[in-house]
Structure 1
Amino acid sequence: MDLYSIDKLMHETRQLAAKYRQATGSTLAVTGEIARFDVAKTLNLNLIDDMTLGHDAIGTGNRESLRILIKGRVIFEDSKSSPRVGQIKTDGRWDNVVLVLFDDDYMPAEMYEATEKAIKEATGSESGSVNKKRGAMSVAQFKKIGQLVWNNNSN
């Protein structure tokens, strides 16, 4: 399948997910795949298919050979809770994590990148606690330790 076809499918997936949430109040479990697609395309990463490796992509250019874990989170305007980043296995095989934040229409708004060292320090995972090894953190905390690498004003 060519890139144009995948672009079109992702566009339709975003529309479907947004309409589904508007109609039901529930979300479809598509954010992860949309995040992988958007981050790889935007940051010029090579996606890998083997999910057992513990990362989603391999970097090119200034990220040459870095193993990148990709996370996505939709920030809904009507959400009253503090959004959390999905689980980050701090004992995983990755070098950096890229978090893409989406708007209500599942369109990317911002991408942040954090190093393994920064995430382990922020989660205190080196202390050995089981909860800390899960890499639990809020989106706000990730934004604080990460670097903004893209936003929808920079395209």
Structure 2
Amino acid sequence: MDLERAGEVLERARLAAVDYYRLTGKPLGITGEIGEYLAAKILHLQLADARAPGYDAIDGSGRKIQIKARCIPRDTRLTGQRLGSIRLEHEWDCVMLVLLDQEFRPRTIHELNRTSIAAALAKPGSKARNERGAMAVSQFISLGHEVWRESEGA
């Protein structure tokens, strides 16, 4: 994939999504694509082919990375925010979470390895977590580590 060309297209889509949200109060549904692109660009990842089961990118050491993205306005608490389904039956090594602001600009990127995710998803108590592989954003951040943060004043 030509990452530069994809970035040009996604920038137009980002601007349209911001306008659409301001007009309707509804998201346009491009958060995941923007998150994948930004993680690849910022962390120098190779994006996987579309619909690769379980992972979205590969890093320089060959790790298969699943990328999740959430758009969370800067003044919003993470409480109640959840990641989409993380499926353990697919092949991947870690999950990266790209947090975006209300204009789809990257704030931070966090990483959590497969072993830690499997342990967290197996804990008893939550049907969403146990059956659907859904994890709270705050839990992901507390268990993982930050791999990138926007520059101060950016």
- The TM-score with structure 2 as length reference comes to 0.86
Distance change in 2, residues 1:17/1:30 (3 Å): same
- Asked if 2 retains the 8 angstrom alpha-carbon contact of 1:114 and 1:147, the reply is yes
**Aligned pairs (5 A) from 1:1-155:** 2-60=2-60, 64-76=61-73, 82-124=80-122, 131-153=129-151
Distance change in 2, residues 1:123/1:2 (3 Å): closer
CA RMSD of aligned residues (A): 2.5
- Unaligned runs of 5+ residues in structure 2 are none
Distance change in 2, residues 1:124/1:2 (3 Å): closer
User: How many residues are paired up?
Assistant: 151
Letter in 2 for 1:86: G
Q: Secondary structure at the match of 1:140?
A: helix
- Percent identity between the aligned chains? 35
**Shift of residue 91 of structure 1?**
2.1
Distance change in 2, residues 1:98/1:6 (3 Å): same
Deviates more, 1:78-87 or 1:37-46: 78-87
- The TM-score with structure 1 as length reference comes to 0.85
- Unaligned runs of 5+ residues in structure 1 are none
